[in-house]
């Protein structure tokens, strides 16, 4: 995992974790705003972008690396940790292990219900279809499903062809089998849970479950939006939601 740093190191630290198949570039509009008053960290998850050479292992492995970074570089606690999709699952895992690691947590579109049959389906499917990721037409379809903005399509394609088959398999399996830990309810963080109104039912069900088990959490169901659309396509709206949470 690569940790990109922005802003003044003496300011409070915020960490933003990208979604699966993306990288730190997907966060740049958000980073640009918050680095004015915060020390911003944008990790690149193993298997993605500049970290493509390091095989992605699991959500728990990524969470352990993030916790180690916070312990060694941020004195064990930060102002906020935010994540999208698999990034949000990493955030959820982190706060389930360390109840006082962050003052705020923002969980956008985190799947917390394991998907039946994903283990049986995933490996054979990627053995047959992995070569498609090098095709631009397929990349465009994937980018559309991920709500990647049009001005980021080329960088998305260039990053996607770097991802190894094993990382892709591990990401899909880890994402689809992630199970919410009971200890998540122990977090002392103020938690904002975000989900799009037009996401698939299991994503909205996951958001409701997180909201139910995390005391004092806020649930924001974004009208008319799909998976990841708020932070990726409407970063200013996402920024305003966070500023409201932080009372800035």
Q: Shortest CA distance to 88 belongs to which of 230, 216, 240, 225? A: 230
Yes or no: say if 40 and 89 are a contact pair by the CB < 8 Å rule: no
pLDDT tens digit sequence for 191-241: 999 999 999 999 999 999 999 999 999 999 999 999 999 999 999 999 999
Domain 2-246 has CATH 3.40.120.10: no
Output the pTM of the full model: 0.93
Tens of pLDDT along 62-121? 999 999 999 999 999 999 999 999 999 999 999 999 999 999 999 999 999 988 777 666
């Amino acid at each position: 995992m690569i940790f990109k740093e922005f802003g003044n190191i003496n300011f409070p630290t915020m960490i933003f974790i990208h979604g699966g198949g993306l990288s730190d570039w997907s966060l740049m509009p958000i980073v640009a705003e918050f680095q004015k008053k915060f020390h911003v960290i944008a990790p690149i998850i193993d298997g993605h972008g500049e970290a493509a050479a390091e095989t992605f292992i699991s959500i728990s492995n990524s969470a352990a690396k993030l916790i180690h970074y916070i312990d060694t570089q941020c004195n064990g606690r930060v102002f906020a940790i935010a994540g999208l999709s698999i990034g949000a699952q990493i955030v959820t895992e982190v706060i389930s292990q360390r109840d006082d690691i962050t003052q705020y947590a923002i969980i956008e579109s985190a799947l917390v219900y394991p998907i039946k049959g994903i283990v049986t389906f995933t490996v054979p499917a990627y053995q047959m279809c992995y070569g498609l990721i090098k095709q631009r037409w397929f990349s465009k379809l994937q980018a559309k499903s991920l709500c990647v903005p049009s001005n980021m399509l080329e960088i998305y394609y260039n990053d996607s062809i770097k991802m190894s088959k094993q990382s892709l398999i591990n990401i899909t399996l880890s994402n689809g089998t992630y199970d919410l830990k009971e200890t998540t309810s122990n977090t002392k963080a103020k938690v904002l849970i975000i989900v799009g109104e037009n996401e698939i039912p299991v994503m909205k069900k996951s958001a409701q479950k997180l909201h139910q088990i995390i005391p004092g959490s806020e649930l924001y169901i974004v009208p008319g939006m799909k998976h990841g659309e708020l932070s990726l396509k409407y970063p200013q709206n996402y920024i305003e939601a966070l500023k409201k949470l932080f009372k800035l």
